[in-house]
């Protein structure tokens, strides 16, 4: 595609510390979603919390159906449902009626309010709206109300996710006598990942607050009765206890330097913050387990050590099938850093690493995490799928690694797509894909190797049944 | 029953009090109650779904990224040629655009995308904040139209400016600017337009083929598998057949007023309605009685072909109860009738956008005791389904997990569907899908069903 010289506002306003690879004025098949989606998912990872969008009805409905198609679970998201009048005179009356209806209908423990581009643009004063609403309606047992600002004209769904986590921690955490509890901010990972993280931390004998935790609320069992707000999620008391824990751990290398929940806790309650990369692959997982050994004062439990051992064994058994294969990977910045690190561990060469996010930290974080990443690997941030397709076509990869949105590209290039991350709209089991820890690496390894074996088998004239 | 006070007038149980049904019609056509978790979307969504299937047009969403991202390749609307409509193009407005305006970016985006894809026309959808920051979208469209020589049409679809229905209207207005701009040369005397079918899973092709077999020309399908050139000459047709009452009536009315083309409301779902839609068109052309004869032959043939299998499905579905919650009420009428044909009873029925006369009609065609609801939400729908103890839910993506969580079978009757449900063959697909889901052995393990100690479904199948 032809590139245009553009100086117009909007293209150079994100204060990037790295070159831009997206040269078009438009975004063509985005490799990102809007900020309120991330906030809604984070809120649904809190026990008894209903997400509430202050803005148009459509935002809530679109985000619901998008999340439903991935998780295959109900997710109710309320909206203040702006009318033309609200857009002109402000959404106060809709906000108040909406919150009152939600309290009546859902009896939530918390309402997570995210402001959409509409309410942000008209400059709604949320502090005042909260104050006035609670002035009229507060009574003992009224649900907690937390606001996060998520205008979709800044950042991506990941930014909305982290912002919501931060807002909740800011609003609810209180100090207290220091405990051995560990605060864990995992980022936007799968339901299976969250379950596995809890298992790991528990096995080290540590109490924890995992925020958010939608491992049950977005991946729960079949019901005997209707649950207005599905069970599960981080309990509010556990969030309040964030301020008395021994340490905070945040996953996500690109988050360094940007204030998040753990940084606030460090500042306010002097809780040390130990940022880590998403524990994908052996090295990033080792770093997590090593930290837990220190915190728990014990060695890695045998079951997990065995898992690591089997993973290494499997990697040796399978390494020749994938040796020298090239991959294009895309998705959220911290996810692709973890995936690139893992691929380099197993002898696959990442040729393009791309993200729609533009934290400004992708290149430096990726190079730091994966020093052996070939210099020729193209690292693209702030790109769309047209950019990714251009880069991928030139790089001639053997497979794609990323979410469902790369399917049309994989089809065009006639190469397989190994599905990870979010969204996965064309397979079942998206919420059960495990990416993290040794067990997650094992599943990723098996998926990558088997996909490439299958592809070779299907495209072979011989049709070996013994590979 | 727990229903928000704001919503009580939008729910009714039929026939509980004689004479009550017609006396006080259900409240509808209202802005959704704030905080009610409506299943509706917004004005933008209404416009986007209607125009989406126009395959050789560029569809550019002017606004921040969300609205475009959530509608990327979202519909099952098939094209026999270009696939441009399946992309997601956005101006992806950022903070500085919001402050300084997005017109410049919109202009550059249009120019580069038109150069890259050579579309026959372009639609520019305004999203919420465009209506607030005051971009003159029409002016940019006009400028690009002049420079690029294709129609560039603004769609006034700011999300907050009404309901989904207003989005339909905005889409009709945009499309209508194309109608009448092409030559009607070669359009025959027995010619129609198919309005309000979106070629989901190839449904327009099925319908189109029926009319062709009857000897009727289809000038334009708006918007299933649509091409800009066809829409331009749509005013040459003698009759508009309008399905999906909500979305395309506005266009039909405009064409009636300006070109004297009458419109007839039809539905292609279910045997009765499908046959009626064919006869309706045939009777419109009395000058050629062979059209009606061919229609009768066609219906006889098609019905005969599916009857044996339908009977089998009916045997396995007889007496089961269903809930229906769909976008437009007209679709609900057809579904109630189609379910009857399968021996099933509709216990709950509702729509997002039905009008007053739609609900009166729904109350008439449903059995006494049926819950009829406008603009419902998850809490209500779950409650209705449990109280009526339904075996099946027919709805869209947002209704599916409600049904599944409660151990209720589900039929996808949404715009994502991949199986054609229209036409005679569609009725068979519908019956198969309903039967497969209702009679699946998985329900025997669902906690709700187990608690009620319903006999195992798998035994029933084996019997």
**Tens digit of each residue's pLDDT (9 = 90 or more) over B56-82:** 999 999 999 999 999 999 989 999 999
Q: Which two tokens stand for residue B302?
A: 């098609």
Position B34 pLDDT exceeds 80 = yes
Give tens-digit pLDDT for A214-247. 999 999 999 988 999 999 999 999 999 999 999 9
Q: How many domains does chain A have?
A: 3
Q: Residue B268: inside a domain, yes or no?
A: yes
Q: Residue A150: inside a domain, yes or no?
A: yes
Q: Residue B133: inside a domain, yes or no?
A: yes
Whether residue B34 and residue A225 make contact (CB cut-off 8 A), yes or no, is no
Residues making up chain B, counted from first to last: 463
Give A62 to chain B, closest Cα distance, Å: 6
Give A36 to chain B, closest Cα distance, Å: 9
Give A114 to chain B, closest Cα distance, Å: 13
Q: Which two tokens stand for residue A45?
A: 């990872």
Q: Residue A260: inside a domain, yes or no?
A: yes
% of residues, chain A, pLDDT over 90: 93
Whether residue A27 and residue B65 make contact (CB cut-off 8 A), yes or no, is yes
- Same domain for A450 and A335, yes or no, is yes
Whether residue A87 and residue B131 make contact (CB cut-off 8 A), yes or no, is yes
Interface test with A, best of B1, B34, B377 (most A CBs within 10 A): B34
- Same domain for A128 and A163, yes or no, is yes
Whether residue B398 and residue A65 make contact (CB cut-off 8 A), yes or no, is yes
Using the Cα atoms of residue B30, residue B31, residue B35 and residue B41 in order, give the sign of their dihedral: positive
- Same domain for A150 and A203, yes or no, is no
Q: Residue B9: inside a domain, yes or no?
A: no
Q: Which residues of A touch B36 (CB under 8 A)?
A: 78, 81, 101, 105
Q: Which residues of A touch B395 (CB under 8 A)?
A: none
Whether residue B64 and residue A222 make contact (CB cut-off 8 A), yes or no, is no
Instruction: Indicate the residue of A32, A64, A228 with minimum beta-carbon distance to B65.
Output: A32
Position B453 pLDDT exceeds 60 = no
Q: Residue A14: inside a domain, yes or no?
A: no
Phi first, then psi, for residue A149 (nearest 5°) are -90, 115
Q: Residue B321: inside a domain, yes or no?
A: yes
C-alpha of A386 from chain center: 23
B68–A contact, CB cutoff 8 A: yes
Whether residue A27 and residue B68 make contact (CB cut-off 8 A), yes or no, is yes
Q: Residue B358: inside a domain, yes or no?
A: yes
Q: What pLDDT was estimated at residue A263?
A: 98
Q: What is the mean pLDDT of chain B?
A: 93
Q: Which of B278, B300, B322 is the last residue of a domain?
A: B300
Q: Which two tokens stand for residue A447?
A: 């998926």
- Same domain for A378 and A259, yes or no, is no
- Same domain for B397 and B428, yes or no, is yes
- Same domain for B323 and B293, yes or no, is no
Q: Which two tokens stand for residue A160?
A: 């909305």
- Same domain for B454 and B328, yes or no, is yes
Residues 23-62 of B with CB under 8 A from A: 31-45, 60
Q: What angle do CA A99, A103, A107 make, to 5 degrees?
A: 150
Cα nearest neighbour of B40 on chain A? A61
Whether residue A26 and residue B90 make contact (CB cut-off 8 A), yes or no, is yes
Q: Which residues of A touch B118 (CB under 8 A)?
A: none
Q: Residue B30: inside a domain, yes or no?
A: no
- Same domain for B267 and B313, yes or no, is no
Q: Residue B77: which CATH number?
A: 3.40.50.1980
- Same domain for B120 and B200, yes or no, is no
Q: Which of A252, A268, A296 is the last residue of a domain?
A: A296
Diameter over CA atoms, chain A: 76
- In this structure, are residues A400 and A416 in contact, taking their beta carbons and an 8 Å threshold? yes
User: From the DSSP assignment, how many helices (H) and strands (E) are in chain A?
Assistant: 17, 14
DSSP code of residue A154: S
- Same domain for A330 and A419, yes or no, is yes
Interface test with A, best of B49, B63, B69 (most A CBs within 10 A): B69
Q: What is the mean pLDDT of chain A?
A: 94
Instruction: Indicate the residue of A14, A26, A58 with minimum beta-carbon distance to B45.
Output: A58
Closest residue by Cα to residue A220 from A44, A61, A375, A66: A44
Position B454 pLDDT exceeds 80 = no
Instruction: Indicate the residue of A6, A61, A122 with minimum beta-carbon distance to B108.
Output: A6
Q: Which two tokens stand for residue A115?
A: 């402001």
- Same domain for A309 and A451, yes or no, is yes
Give A410 to chain B, closest Cα distance, Å: 15
- Same domain for A317 and A274, yes or no, is no
Give A461 to chain B, closest Cα distance, Å: 33
What are A145's strand-pairing partners? A111
Q: Which of A296, A314, A329 is the last residue of a domain?
A: A296
- Same domain for A312 and A286, yes or no, is no
3-state DSSP of B285-333: CCCCHHHHHHHHHHHHHHHHHHHHHHHHHHHHHCCCEEEEEECCHHHHH
Average pLDDT over residues B424-444: 97
Q: Residue A18: inside a domain, yes or no?
A: no
Average pLDDT over residues A351-369: 96
Q: Within a 10 A sphere around the Cβ of A272, how many other Cβ atoms?
A: 12
Q: Residue A276: inside a domain, yes or no?
A: yes
- Same domain for B347 and B456, yes or no, is yes
Interface test with B, best of A12, A20, A33, A61 (most B CBs within 10 A): A61
- Same domain for B270 and B152, yes or no, is no
Looking at A44-83, list the stretches that DSSP marks H as alpha helix, in order from N- to C-terminal side.
57-71
- Same domain for A113 and A46, yes or no, is yes
> Helix axis angle, A191-203 relative to A302-322, nearest 10°?
140
Give B33 to chain A, closest Cα distance, Å: 7
Q: Residue B441: inside a domain, yes or no?
A: yes
User: From the DSSP assignment, how many helices (H) and strands (E) are in chain B?
Assistant: 20, 14
What is the band of A12 on the pLDDT scale with cuts at 50, 70, 90? very low
Closest residue by Cα to residue B152 from B57, B39, B242: B57
Q: Which residues of A touch B67 (CB under 8 A)?
A: 58, 62
Q: What pLDDT was estimated at residue B462?
A: 41
- Same domain for B93 and B158, yes or no, is yes
Q: Which two tokens stand for residue A147?
A: 């606001």
Q: Residue A209: inside a domain, yes or no?
A: yes
Q: Residue B59: inside a domain, yes or no?
A: yes
- Same domain for B144 and B204, yes or no, is no
Give A261 to chain B, closest Cα distance, Å: 24
Q: Which of B273, B300, B327 is the last residue of a domain?
A: B300
- Same domain for A289 and A381, yes or no, is no
Whether residue B37 and residue A87 make contact (CB cut-off 8 A), yes or no, is no
Whether residue B447 and residue A121 make contact (CB cut-off 8 A), yes or no, is no
Average pLDDT over residues B135-154: 98
Average pLDDT over residues B93-118: 97
Q: Which residues of B touch A29 (CB under 8 A)?
A: 72, 87-88
Position A188 pLDDT exceeds 60 = yes
Q: Residue A223: inside a domain, yes or no?
A: no
Q: What pLDDT was estimated at residue A203?
A: 98
Q: What pLDDT was estimated at residue B415?
A: 85
Give tens-digit pLDDT for B223-249. 999 999 999 999 999 999 999 767 899
Q: Residue A56: which CATH number?
A: 3.40.50.1980
Give Cβ neighbours of residue A258 (< 8 Å, ≥ 6 apart).
A359
Looking at A297-377, list the stretches that DSSP marks H as alpha helix, in order from N- to C-terminal side.
302-322, 333-345, 362-369
- Same domain for A148 and A284, yes or no, is no
- In this structure, are residues B435 and B417 in contact, taking their beta carbons and an 8 Å threshold? no
Q: Residue for token digits 């993506």?
A: B397
Instruction: Indicate the residue of B42, B70, B113 with minimum beta-carbon distance to A66.
Output: B70
- Same domain for A166 and A136, yes or no, is yes
- Same domain for B446 and B389, yes or no, is yes
Q: Residue A177: inside a domain, yes or no?
A: no
Q: Which residues of B touch A55 (CB under 8 A)?
A: 128, 160
Using the Cα atoms of residue A346, residue A349, residue A354 and residue A358 in order, give the sign of their dihedral: positive
Whether residue A78 and residue B37 make contact (CB cut-off 8 A), yes or no, is yes
Whether residue A61 and residue B42 make contact (CB cut-off 8 A), yes or no, is yes
What is the band of A319 on the pLDDT scale with cuts at 50, 70, 90? very high
Q: What pLDDT was estimated at residue B16?
A: 63
Q: Which residues of A touch B131 (CB under 8 A)?
A: 87
Q: Which two tokens stand for residue B295?
A: 């229609």
Position B461 pLDDT exceeds 50 = no
- Same domain for B335 and B433, yes or no, is yes
What is the band of B2 on the pLDDT scale with cuts at 50, 70, 90? confident
Give tens-digit pLDDT for A402-449. 999 999 999 999 999 999 999 999 999 999 999 999 999 999 999 999
Q: Within a 10 A sphere around the Cβ of A135, how many other Cβ atoms?
A: 8
Q: What pLDDT was estimated at residue B335?
A: 95
- Same domain for B160 and B208, yes or no, is no
What is the band of B20 on the pLDDT scale with cuts at 50, 70, 90? low
Instruction: Indicate the residue of B4, B39, B68 with minimum beta-carbon distance to A104.
Output: B4
Average pLDDT over residues A9-36: 71
B395–A contact, CB cutoff 8 A: no
Q: Which residues of A touch B406 (CB under 8 A)?
A: 223, 226
Q: Residue for token digits 């528990």?
A: A202
Compute the distance between CA of residue B378 and CA of residue A438 in angstroms, rounded to an integer: 39
Whether residue A154 and residue B108 make contact (CB cut-off 8 A), yes or no, is no
Q: What pLDDT was estimated at residue A7?
A: 35
Q: How many domains does chain B have?
A: 3
Q: Which residues of A touch B63 (CB under 8 A)?
A: 117
Average pLDDT over residues B368-386: 94
Q: Residue for token digits 């002109």?
A: A88
Instruction: Indicate the residue of B95, B128, B407 with minimum beta-carbon distance to A118.
Output: B128
Compute the distance between CA of residue B288 and CA of residue B378 in angstroms, rounded to an integer: 51
Whether residue B90 and residue A34 make contact (CB cut-off 8 A), yes or no, is no
Compute the 3-state secondary structure of chain B and give helix, strand, coil in percent, each to the nearest 5: 50, 15, 35
Q: Which two tokens stand for residue B17?
A: 């009090």
Position A10 pLDDT exceeds 70 = no
Using CA atoms, how far residue A158 sits from A78, A188, A230, in Å, is 21, 7, 23
Position B449 pLDDT exceeds 80 = no
Whether residue B44 and residue A58 make contact (CB cut-off 8 A), yes or no, is yes
Q: Which domain holds residue A261?
A: 182-216+233-296
Closest residue by Cα to residue B232 from B284, B185, B199: B185
Compute the distance between CA of residue A182 and CA of residue A259 in angstroms, rounded to an integer: 19
Whether residue A74 and residue B95 make contact (CB cut-off 8 A), yes or no, is no
B76–A contact, CB cutoff 8 A: no
Q: Which residues of A touch B129 (CB under 8 A)?
A: 117-118, 121, 153
Q: Which of B151, B176, B201 is the last residue of a domain?
A: B176
Compute the distance between CA of residue A167 and CA of residue A163 in angstroms, rounded to an integer: 6
Q: Which domain holds residue B265?
A: 191-300
Give A72 to chain B, closest Cα distance, Å: 6
Q: What pLDDT was estimated at residue B157?
A: 97
């Amino acid at each position: 595609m032809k590139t245009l010289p553009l100086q117009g506002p909007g293209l150079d306003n994100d204060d990037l510390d790295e070159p831009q690879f997206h040269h078009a004025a438009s975004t063509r098949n985005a490799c990102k979603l809007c900020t309120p989606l991330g906030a809604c998912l984070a809120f649904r990872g809190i026990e008894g919390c209903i997400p509430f969008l202050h803005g148009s009805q459509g935002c809530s409905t679109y985000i619901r159906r998008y999340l439903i198609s991935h998780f295959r679970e109900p997710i109710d998201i309320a909206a203040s449902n702006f009318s033309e009048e609200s857009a002109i005179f402000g959404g106060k009356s809709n906000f108040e009626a909406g919150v009152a209806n939600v309290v009546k209908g859902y009896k939530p423990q918390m309402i997570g309010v995210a402001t959409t581009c509409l309410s942000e643009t008209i400059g709604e004063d949320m502090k005042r709206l909260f104050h006035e609403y609670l002035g009229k309606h507060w009574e003992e047992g009224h649900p907690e109300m937390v606001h996060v600002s998520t205008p979709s004209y800044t950042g991506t769904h990941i930014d909305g996710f982290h912002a919501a986590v931060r807002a909740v921690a800011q609003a609810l955490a209180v100090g207290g006598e220091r405990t051995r509890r560990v605060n864990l901010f995992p980022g936007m990972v799968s339901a299976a990942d969250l379950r596995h993280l809890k298992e790991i931390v528990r096995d080290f004998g540590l109490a924890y607050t995992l925020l958010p935790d939608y491992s049950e609320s977005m991946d729960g069992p079949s019901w005997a009765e209707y649950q207005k707000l599905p069970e599960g999620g981080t309990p509010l008391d556990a969030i309040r206890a964030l301020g008395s824990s021994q340490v905070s751990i945040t996953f996500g290398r690109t988050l360094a330097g940007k204030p998040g929940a753990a940084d606030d806790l460090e500042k306010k309650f002097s809780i040390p913050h130990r940022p880590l990369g998403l524990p994908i692959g052996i090295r990033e997982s080792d770093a997590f387990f090593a930290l837990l050994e220190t915190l728990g004062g014990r060695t890695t439990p045998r079951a997990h050590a065995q898992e690591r051992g089997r993973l290494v064994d499997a990697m040796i058994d399978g390494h020749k099938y994938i040796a020298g294969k090239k991959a294009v990977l895309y998705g959220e910045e911290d996810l692709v850093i973890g995936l690139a690190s893992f691929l380099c561990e197993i002898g696959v060469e990442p040729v393009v690493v791309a993200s729609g996010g533009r934290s400004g930290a992708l290149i430096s974080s990726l190079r730091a995490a994966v020093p052996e990443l070939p210099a020729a690997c193209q690292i693209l941030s702030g790109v769309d799928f047209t950019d990714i397709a251009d880069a991928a076509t030139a790089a001639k990869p053997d497979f794609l690694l990323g979410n469902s949105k790369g399917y049309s590209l994989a089809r065009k290039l006639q190469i397989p797509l190994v599905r990870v991350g979010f969204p996965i709209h064309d397979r079942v089991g998206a919420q059960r894909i495990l990416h993290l820890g040794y067990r997650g690496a094992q599943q990723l390894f098996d998926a990558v190797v088997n996909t490439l074996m299958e592809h070779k088998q299907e495209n072979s004239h011989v049709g070996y049944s013994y590979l | 029953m727990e229903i928000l006070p704001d919503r009580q007038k939008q729910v009714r149980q039929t026939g509980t009090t004689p004479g009550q049904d017609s006396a006080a019609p259900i409240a509808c056509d209202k802005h959704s109650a704030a905080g009610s978790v409506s299943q509706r979307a917004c004005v933008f969504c209404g416009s986007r779904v209607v125009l989406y299937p126009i395959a050789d047009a560029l569809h550019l969403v002017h606004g921040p990224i969300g609205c475009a991202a959530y509608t990327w390749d979202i519909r099952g609307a098939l094209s026999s040629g270009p696939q441009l409509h399946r992309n997601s193009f956005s101006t992806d407005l950022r903070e500085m655009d919001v402050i300084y305006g997005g017109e410049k970016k919109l202009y550059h985006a249009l120019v580069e995308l038109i150069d890259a894809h050579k579309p026959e026309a372009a639609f520019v959808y305004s999203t919420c904040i465009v209506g607030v920051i005051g971009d003159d979208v029409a002016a940019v469209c006009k400028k690009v139209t002049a420079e690029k020589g294709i129609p560039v049409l603004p769609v006034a679809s700011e999300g907050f400016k009404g309901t989904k229905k207003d989005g339909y209207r905005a889409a009709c207005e945009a499309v209508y600017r194309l109608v009448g701009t092409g030559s009607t040369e070669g359009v025959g005397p027995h010619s129609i337009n198919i309005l309000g079918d979106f070629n989901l899973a190839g449904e327009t092709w099925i319908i189109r083929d029926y009319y062709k077999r009857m000897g009727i020309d289809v000038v334009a399908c708006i918007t299933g598998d649509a091409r800009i050139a066809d829409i331009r000459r749509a005013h040459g047709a003698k009759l508009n057949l309008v399905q999906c009452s909500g979305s395309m009536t506005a266009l039909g009315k405009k064409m009636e007023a300006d070109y004297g083309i009458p419109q007839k409301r039809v539905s292609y779902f279910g045997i009765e309605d499908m046959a009626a839609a064919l006869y309706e068109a045939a009777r419109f052309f009395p000058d050629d009685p062979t059209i009606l004869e061919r229609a009768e032959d066609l219906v006889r043939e098609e019905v005969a072909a599916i009857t044996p299998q339908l009977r089998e499905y009916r045997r396995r579905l007889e007496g089961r109860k269903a809930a229906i919650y769909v976008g437009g009420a007209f679709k609900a009428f057809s579904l109630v009738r189609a379910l009857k044909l399968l021996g099933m009873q509709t216990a709950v029925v509702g729509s997002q956008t039905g009008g007053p006369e739609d609900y009166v009609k729904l109350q008439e065609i449903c059995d006494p005791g049926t819950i009829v609801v406008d603009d419902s939400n998850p809490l209500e729908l779950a409650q209705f389904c449990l109280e009526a103890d339904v075996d099946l839910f027919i709805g869209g993506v947002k209704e599916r997990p409600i049904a599944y969580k409660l151990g209720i079978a589900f039929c996808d009757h949404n715009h994502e569907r991949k199986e054609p449900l229209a036409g005679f063959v569609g009725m068979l697909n519908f019956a198969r899908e309903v039967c497969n889901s209702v009679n699946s052995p998985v329900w025997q393990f669902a906690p709700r069903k187990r608690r009620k100690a319903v006999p195992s479904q798998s035994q029933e199948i084996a019997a």
